[in-house]
Structure 1
């Protein structure tokens, strides 16, 4: 399966620092794409997101050939837990970095299939022939309330705790990691921080992903939509697109 890919991050209009970091790497026919959205005062969030991406990138250089699903999932689980430990320990050592953390969301495409993984509230969306779905579950206070039927979507949009995470890399010594294998029948995947999905409606995301333009043009359009909505947060997006599924 040939995938076209492109990723980009933008500081937005309101933040002094870009605490988002993204990773887009290919090696021996394996494609790895990650978006991290840092959290924490000062430059802590920026440090945490960069540490997470740097660690995964380093481990990816020596990733063994994965023969089975269990190998892929074990590698992802181990690598992400190592990143959590590194950030947690660095946060404990340096007072200026105390409380830093980061979300992490990504996709790994290899011979065995396509795997999505997630910590926090950054997301992966999938565009299909007849559908557009959010493939990840937010690890947030609001998501838990919605899941339990305690609030409506309208209430969630205005809830005072809508930005509170229940899970992130580096905040706690333990971390929950969602890892799932998905079918390869998608036309495109979008990996993004909440600077995009928090301000641009899913109908607009779908419309842009379905256009007959390049992955790079789609990413630029998506980021522009978030900027047009006010650019209140850092914005990061990666598009992976199956060759010939939408155009060509």
Structure 2
């Protein structure tokens, strides 16, 4: 069976059980070209990662996290039944019909916000199937197939994620961050709720022009830069 088919300039690398996010970071450190897509698909989980080389400071390059989130929402929206809803959390969680179904994470080197990164990797983990586990124990967590998406083929979803992310990457390159900001805001989960991140807590009121998290704390508004969502590369 052939592997996933990706657009030109993207290359697939199956990791055969290894963590695709770690593999992508390792390949990026070794100097691979941007556009590498690492992936591992099992019966119960889809894991993948994309290597980018954005030629802007890291604080601006971090738009790749919400951009890839939009790409995933568009991809699943095209393949899933129309009643299935997909929303995105600021720090990367993916919610399907209101419950957490997966997450995205991001790593880059170097991590200085004003410096152009040598590479940036966005990883995706999506729970496909609960394998008979009792959902009553974790009502805020779900799987794709538990939400009526059993007909969605994981390979096709991976291909669609890369394609739709590329569409938004091209749009960002041509039109800047504003279209990404507008689209993502319409998909954001939890606006108006109390949100905690690190030591900060407050009412989630939105994001600024560089996707910094805005929390209302009594009479003041606190901004948490999106670079705070960076994880250490495995």
Determine if the TM-score, normalized by the shorter chain, exceeds 0.5: no
Higher relative contact order (CA 8 A, sep 6+): 1
TM score, norm. by length of structure 2: 0.30
TM score, norm. by length of structure 1: 0.29
